[in-house]
Structure 1
Amino acid sequence: VWYQRAYIAKSETSQIYGRRGIAATLTVLLLDGSWRREVAQEFYAREDEDQTGLDFPHDFEFDYGGSVASRSVTVDGLVPADLKLTIFGPASSPRITVTQGDFINVYSADVEVPGGSRLIIDGSSFPKTIKLVGMYGETEDRFADGMRGEGAGSGSYCFEQLRPGTSSVSWDGSFGFTMTHYLEEGEPPWSS
């Protein structure tokens, strides 16, 4: 479904049908300058694997971890798409990595997401927001806890737009999340 915010500037009634209704001509002003459509994709927690990794009797310079979950997301069109991530708890400082060619971006926030709660990192809204929504709908502003690196294009910007084409998505598999990106068109696709 394509949509756009609008303002009804004028209404002229031409016919009244008793209490049943009216015929009217509306003058509508479009506010966004572009039409948008949401595309949502679910990524599920992988409970069938051991998430603890390997534990050796001596230390290495790096940790050997378990396998990571991996899938892909495709952005149709020619322009980057705004992204909203909804991460479902329990999750501890969730990290999601999106890779396309040489470009890698890590979406993360230093937040404990309890079971039954969700963390929403919304780069599609103005202003951008990070909210922790509790089990009973209570909302907590966690904007300060989002990882921003050095801004867009830095590789660790939690509000980075998705690039057009297919990107691989990976995370540790310990939590589920929804990726919602927004396609934009200058005119409705059905008008041509």
Structure 2
Amino acid sequence: MMHTLTYTSNRAGTVIDLADPEGIMCGQILELRTRTWEFELGYRSLHATRPAKTVKVTGLVYGIPALEKAEELFDADMYAYLNDAAKPGVITVDGWSQTCLVVGHEPDYTSPLLVRGDFTVALLDGVWHKPVRQSFSRSTARYNRGKGYPYDYRYDYAPTRNVSSIDNQSALPSRMRLTIYGPVSTPSIIIGGNKVIADVSVPSGGYLIIDGTGSPRTAVMVAANGDITNVFDKTHRDQASNEYAFATLPPGLQQVSWDESFGFDVEYWLEQTGLPWT
């Protein structure tokens, strides 16, 4: 059962509620739940992809102004995408999203107060994704004072590192976005069997974003004053040595380790070909 359905314009920042009983109410979304791979059979083999596709969503519109406002936004987003290289919109159903453009509306019933018809939506990602975020904090005890004892010893005994992990509930590998907070020089993080390394110095108040969720993949450093620097070429991208900054997160429980001198967030995307039923 669907609870929320929205369209977000990346161009205008406007969000249209498509499950609004007093505006646009889209109740039939069966085609959004369709799980389809395009495939070609070979000799005892199969090649498959998940390309962009169009689906129809049936909607009841209570009030013509709501429909006119939505169609103006859909047209403006389409024009900007085709002519200005603008980002497409995003359709979100109960937290699951993908980029899209609304390419048509076919009414089959009209009255002074009500319009019923099908919206044609071009789904551009081929998959639905739902972000999950997990934060890992800097160990202040480990890097501030060590561990105190009532007697003098030749060494400071640092607190034991916490055992950290990510439990990826997806059945598929998940794309990741890492946000690493400064100050830190040459941050290194091991997730599962892969090491993420960037040869940069992240200043205090700044942060580094290593984003493997989009296309193309990006790595940028944001200073405390908001200045942005492209540092893609500073990331390690050696897949053969398991030092790939844009590696996906495998399913299941993955151990996470770092020197705990800095904090970071991991956002990973659960992915499904069709919308889940629950």
TM over 0.5: yes
> Pairwise mapping of residues 152-163 of structure 1 onto structure 2 (< 5 A)?
154-163=241-250
Deviation at 1:68, TM superposition (A): 4.1
Partner residue in 2 for 1:75: 168
Aligned to 1:44: 137
**Root-mean-square deviation (CA), in Å?**
2.5
Compute the displacement of 1:90 (Å). 0.8
Change beyond 3 A, Cα 1:17–1:105: same
Whether 2:233 is the aligned partner of 1:136: answer no
Residue 24 of structure 2 is matched in structure 1 by: none
CA contact (8 A) 1:52 1:66 kept: no
What is the distance in 2 between the residues matched to 1:143 and 1:107? 13
Q: Which TM-score applies when normalising by structure 1?
A: 0.80
Q: CA deviation at 1:154?
A: 2.8
Distance in 2, matches of 1:93 and 1:175, equals 11
CA distance in 1, matches of 2:234, 2:112: 56
Give the aligned length. 173
Evaluate the alpha carbon distance shift between residue 136 and residue 50 of structure 1 in structure 2; reply closer, same or farther with a 3 A threshold: closer
Instruction: Return the TM-score normalized by structure 2.
Output: 0.57
Which whole-Å CA distance do the structure 2 matches of 1:16 and 1:111 have between them? Answer: 62
Corresponding residue number in structure 1 for 2:33: none
Higher relative contact order (CA 8 A, sep 6+): 1
Percent identity of paired positions between Structure 1 and Structure 2: 35
Mapped to 2, the partners of 1:184 and 1:113 lie a distance apart of: 31
State the alpha-carbon separation in 2 of the partners of residues 24 and 110 from structure 1: 54
Matches of 2:190 and 2:134, distance apart in 1: 15
Map of 1:176 onto structure 2: 263
Displacement of 1:123: 1.1
The residue that corresponds to 2:189 in the other structure is: 96
| CA displacement at 1:11 relative to structure 2 | 2.1
For 1:98-141, what per-residue CA distance to the aligned partner results, in whole angstroms no more than 9, with x for missing partners?
23xxxx21111011000111100111111111100122322110
